[in-house]
A and B are shown apart, each in its own frame.
Chain A
Amino acid sequence: MAAPDLLDPKSAAHNSKPRLSFSVSPVLLNTPEDECDTRTTVMRWKTVSAIFFLVVLYLIIGATVFRALEQPHESSQKLAILAEKLDFLAMHSCVNSSELEDLVKQVVSAVRAGVNPSGNSTNHMSLWDISSSFFFAGTVITTIGFGNISPHTEGGRIFCIIYALLGIPLFGFLLAGVGDQLGTIFGKGIAKVEKMIVKWKVSQTKIRVISTLIFILFGCLIFVALPVIIFKHIEGWSTLESIYFVVITLTTIGFGDFVAGEKGGSESPEFLNYYKPVVWFWILVGLAYFAAVLSMIGDWFRVISKKTKEEVGEFRAHAAEWTANVSAEFKETRRRLSVDIYDKFQRAASIKRKLSSELGINQELTPGKRALSVNLYEDRENYPNSTLSLSPITGTLARNGSFYLNGLSPDYADRREIAIIENLK
């Protein structure tokens, strides 16, 4: 917007709207068009780093809570096991401490390799029979990775890498397909329910909320509650441990402290052969369900952050607009004021010329002052709402015969809005 030509006061007087000399746009989530951004909108760096710091904060909070919860437990476990060791040594005096250490070390590394030396060697089920290997391969491909079994030979490890490289994408495709079918099956049911609800004339929003809730509830029932009961019964875990196992498995974290089907010896083999594939199938479908739930939670995060950003953006836009309006008004007033003053000085100058031509030059008036005071007095009636503070201006004029009325602050000087230089002697 071009600054009005202030040396022509008449034209300036016509433009009485407040001028916004900069455009105000709400804070956009999109970056301005780079050459890279074709279709996808990308979060700005600030947003990403903000989220990143949030994640770090979240981790720190988690760390402190875990430490507070677990460390005392750990210390008590340590004390207990040390007491056991001392007891054992005391009871069996022919064993010395270093032999015991050796034995324990070997036992521990054997257990790491999957061999449990306690118990007789007769009724051992191998950890690498077909069904367990199948289960292991499944945990590798789904990236759960329990870790209660893991390959120990070099060949096994290399094969594991290659196997996972091919298997994980394959499982990904499968998950996509299963999730899709699951969604369609569920969707048909929901559509029927929605048709019923629509008859009750509930708003669209409520319908969506209700369908989401039904989705979560129903899924929880089938994929979480039912397995929890089954595991509790078969594995002998507590309720909390079963829920813990279900969540840790279905989010593919897979610690491995609890693994379904681990208790080899006690159950009959046919039952186990039947049980493990069922568990695997449950993992497959449950993973699809959990993927849906977790992505829904992720969506809510995004929407929340987007909403807050929008609100913040709107707020900032409003604030900016208000500031712009106010400063424009302010500038307008000052502009008008300076135009007035310019006007007055023109008139004062012309009156002075008239007077001096009539009275002769030897009479030294301070014409500016008098004329100005005369004119300003007139003008105060014409412009009642302008808050002119006359005294500083007259003061300036009185002080020095020449005056320099600038745009009142240096940063407006370059905008050429108010710059009147006048010399009066």
Chain B
Amino acid sequence: MHSLGRSWLLLTGFILFYVIYLLFGALMFSSIERPVEDKLRQEMEVLKQEFLNQSCVNSTSLERFLVKVLTANKYGVSVLANNSATSNWDLTSSMFFANTLVTTVGYGQTTPLSDTGKAFSILYALIGVPFTMLVLTACVQRIMCPLVLSPVSLLQRSGMEPRPATFLHFLLLLLLVVLCFFVVPAAVFSSVELSWSFLDGIYFCFISLCTIGLGDFVPGTQPGQKYRQLYQVTVMVYLFLGLMMMYLLLRTFHKMADLHGLTTFLQLPRCDESDLEDDREPIIEGKPEDQAPPYQTEKEANKHLKPGSHPVYNTINSG
């Protein structure tokens, strides 16, 4: 059972490497961010002391007040005077929220407050996430032909070998995507949003398009934003298109890796075991195809269970 042993070995290797990678990241983040955090904390202490010194407020009532303010702020409700006009839950903002929910970006700068809202978010996400993934994959499949297969065959016909052709094409596509979906939007964002620099714009684009969505930068939330609704809708469209292009890139990379033999070497799902065979039988009788590969364990060491072979929301496994 050479291949089975190999697959276990590979898995342990991956896990180990992953843990090491995480540790490395932890060390780096810690060393970069911690000094800044300490400095900020000291500044806050000084500020509080100053405030307390020059006024009649005592420490406990200030604490109480601050706690309340911060809890409200966590939910996006601000106590500052100029922020009282715009709601976080008007129609376009709610749609923006629903969009972040469904594309799994999940910024978190507005979150549901009520219990019903939370329950509804759960249901909405469970249905909406696979639905969106389906749409994205379908769109990617459609644009795959004019954007990937045609140029590659064009290159091949002009005399290049398949492997360098795919590689060159992938590089060109990567350049195009970076230009159109990172550099240009970052420039636009940094000019529209007052407090963002160009680096912040690129950071935002990257964090959003990888669906990480930390939420420290969210466009359209500054008070007094002009044309807020139009802006939010544009950002939604940008997110969707950007996600599609990322999937396309991923898929192209996967096909290229296939061609170069990487995926078989690493025992990853191959590109032509596409999950979008429309000639699959209906789900009941088709279940053997879905669940059979993991059931036939030793025999099919190459076939992988669906989480591996589906372009759900985690990256390279898009088949």
Please tell me which one of the listed residues B125, B138, B153, B284 contacts residue A251 in the complex, with CB atoms under 8 A apart.
B125
* Residues 165 to 205 of chain B near chain A (Cβ within 8 Å): 199-200, 202-203
Whether B203 pairs with A160 at a CB distance below 8 angstroms is: yes
Q: Mark B250-293, 1 if CB is under 8 A from A, else 0.
A: 00000000000000001011001011111110111111101101
Given that A55-B131, A291-B314 are known contacts, is A36 also in contact with B150, CB under 8 Å in the complex?
yes
* Residues 46 to 91 of chain A near chain B (Cβ within 8 Å): 47-48, 51-52, 54-55, 58-60, 62-67, 69-71, 73-75, 77-78, 80-82, 84-85, 88, 91
Whether B102 pairs with A172 at a CB distance below 8 angstroms is: no
B contact residues around A257 at 8 Å (CB): 74-75, 108, 111
Whether A121 pairs with B45 at a CB distance below 8 angstroms is: yes
B22 within 8 A of A: yes
**Closest CB in chain A relative to B247 CB, distance in Å:** 13
Whether B285 pairs with A208 at a CB distance below 8 angstroms is: yes
Given that A126-B37, A160-B203 are known contacts, is A118 also in contact with B70, CB under 8 Å in the complex?
yes
Please tell me which one of the listed residues B61, B90, B135, B287 contacts residue A88 in the complex, with CB atoms under 8 A apart.
B61
Given that A113-B37, A168-B315, A299-B283 are known contacts, is A62 also in contact with B124, CB under 8 Å in the complex?
yes
User: Most chain-B Cβ atoms within 10 A of its Cβ — which of A70, A147, A151, A159?
Assistant: A70
CA distance A97 to B80 in the complex (A): 10
CA distance A169 to B120 in the complex (A): 32
> Which of chain A's residues has its CB closest to B8's CB?
A181
CA distance A105 to B51 in the complex (A): 13
> Which of chain A's residues has its CB closest to B284's CB?
A205
Whether A81 pairs with B69 at a CB distance below 8 angstroms is: yes
Of A132-140, A328-336, A348-356, A381-389, which stretch is located at the interface?
Answer: A132-140
**Closest CB in chain A relative to B6 CB, distance in Å:** 12
Whether A150 pairs with B216 at a CB distance below 8 angstroms is: yes
> Which of chain B's residues has its CB closest to A91's CB?
B61
Whether A81 pairs with B72 at a CB distance below 8 angstroms is: yes
B contact residues around A373 at 8 Å (CB): none
Please tell me which one of the listed residues B106, B283, B286 contacts residue A145 in the complex, with CB atoms under 8 A apart.
B106
User: Most chain-A Cβ atoms within 10 A of its Cβ — which of B11, B75, B108, B266?
Assistant: B108
* Residues 145 to 192 of chain A near chain B (Cβ within 8 Å): 145-147, 150-161, 163-164, 166-184, 186-188, 190-191
Q: Mark B67-95, 1 if CB is under 8 A from A, else 0.
A: 11110111111111100100111111011
CA distance A52 to B131 in the complex (A): 10
**Closest CB in chain B relative to A108 CB, distance in Å:** 5
Please tell me which one of the listed residues B36, B70, B280 contacts residue A152 in the complex, with CB atoms under 8 A apart.
B36
B contact residues around A103 at 8 Å (CB): 47, 51
CA distance A41 to B145 in the complex (A): 11
B contact residues around A71 at 8 Å (CB): 87, 89-90
B156 within 8 A of A: no
Given that A58-B131, A81-B68, A248-B125 are known contacts, is A254 also in contact with B308, CB under 8 Å in the complex?
no
**Closest CB in chain A relative to B36 CB, distance in Å:** 5
> Which of chain B's residues has its CB closest to A88's CB?
B65
Whether A93 pairs with B56 at a CB distance below 8 angstroms is: yes
B142 within 8 A of A: yes
> Which of chain A's residues has its CB closest to B30's CB?
A133
A contact residues around B276 at 8 Å (CB): 40-41, 43, 302
> Which of chain A's residues has its CB closest to B136's CB?
A55
Please tell me which one of the listed residues B38, B88, B133, B315 contacts residue A74 in the complex, with CB atoms under 8 A apart.
B88
**Closest CB in chain B relative to A231 CB, distance in Å:** 14
Given that A59-B95, A77-B72, A153-B32 are known contacts, is A172 also in contact with B131, CB under 8 Å in the complex?
no
CA distance A72 to B109 in the complex (A): 18
B160 within 8 A of A: no
**Closest CB in chain B relative to A279 CB, distance in Å:** 13
Q: Mark A259-275, 1 if CB is under 8 A from B, else 0.
A: 00000000000000000
B215 within 8 A of A: yes
A198 within 8 A of B: no
Whether A164 pairs with B210 at a CB distance below 8 angstroms is: yes
Please tell me which one of the listed residues A62, A81, A134 contacts residue B94 in the complex, with CB atoms under 8 A apart.
A62
A34 within 8 A of B: yes
**Closest CB in chain B relative to A240 CB, distance in Å:** 6
* Residues 118 to 135 of chain A near chain B (Cβ within 8 Å): 118-119, 121, 124, 126-131, 133-134
Given that A43-B278, A145-B214, A295-B307 are known contacts, is A65 also in contact with B47, CB under 8 Å in the complex?
no
**Closest CB in chain A relative to B62 CB, distance in Å:** 8
Q: Mark A109-121, 1 if CB is under 8 A from B, else 0.
A: 0111111111101
A144 within 8 A of B: yes
Whether A62 pairs with B98 at a CB distance below 8 angstroms is: yes
Please tell me which one of the listed residues B57, B66, B141, B210 contacts residue A117 in the complex, with CB atoms under 8 A apart.
B66
CA distance A59 to B236 in the complex (A): 11
Please tell me which one of the listed residues A153, A180, A287 contacts residue B304 in the complex, with CB atoms under 8 A apart.
A180
User: Most chain-A Cβ atoms within 10 A of its Cβ — which of B29, B90, B150, B266?
Assistant: B29
User: Most chain-A Cβ atoms within 10 A of its Cβ — which of B89, B276, B290?
Assistant: B89
A421 within 8 A of B: no
Whether A182 pairs with B285 at a CB distance below 8 angstroms is: no
CA distance A59 to B97 in the complex (A): 9
Please tell me which one of the listed residues A51, A128, A147, A243 contacts residue B33 in the complex, with CB atoms under 8 A apart.
A128
> Which of chain B's residues has its CB closest to A182's CB?
B305
CA distance A40 to B307 in the complex (A): 20
> Which of chain B's residues has its CB closest to A249's CB?
B106
B contact residues around A183 at 8 Å (CB): 293-294, 304-307
**Closest CB in chain B relative to A74 CB, distance in Å:** 6
Please tell me which one of the listed residues A39, A64, A99 contacts residue B51 in the complex, with CB atoms under 8 A apart.
A99
CA distance A52 to B309 in the complex (A): 23
B221 within 8 A of A: no
A404 within 8 A of B: no
Please tell me which one of the listed residues A40, A124, A143 contacts residue B104 in the complex, with CB atoms under 8 A apart.
A143
* Pairs A–B under 8 Å by Cβ, sample size 16: A67-B91, A77-B75, A99-B55, A107-B66, A133-B27, A137-B21, A140-B212, A144-B212, A150-B214, A152-B33, A152-B36, A161-B207, A179-B307, A187-B291, A256-B108, A298-B133
User: Can you add 14 more A-B contacts, CB < 8 Å, to A115-B40, A134-B23, A301-B134?
Assistant: A36-B149, A39-B274, A47-B138, A81-B77, A84-B65, A84-B68, A91-B61, A117-B47, A174-B14, A175-B307, A180-B7, A208-B288, A251-B125, A253-B106
Q: Which 3 A/B pairs are nearest by Cβ-Cβ distance?
A: A183-B294, A183-B305, A179-B307
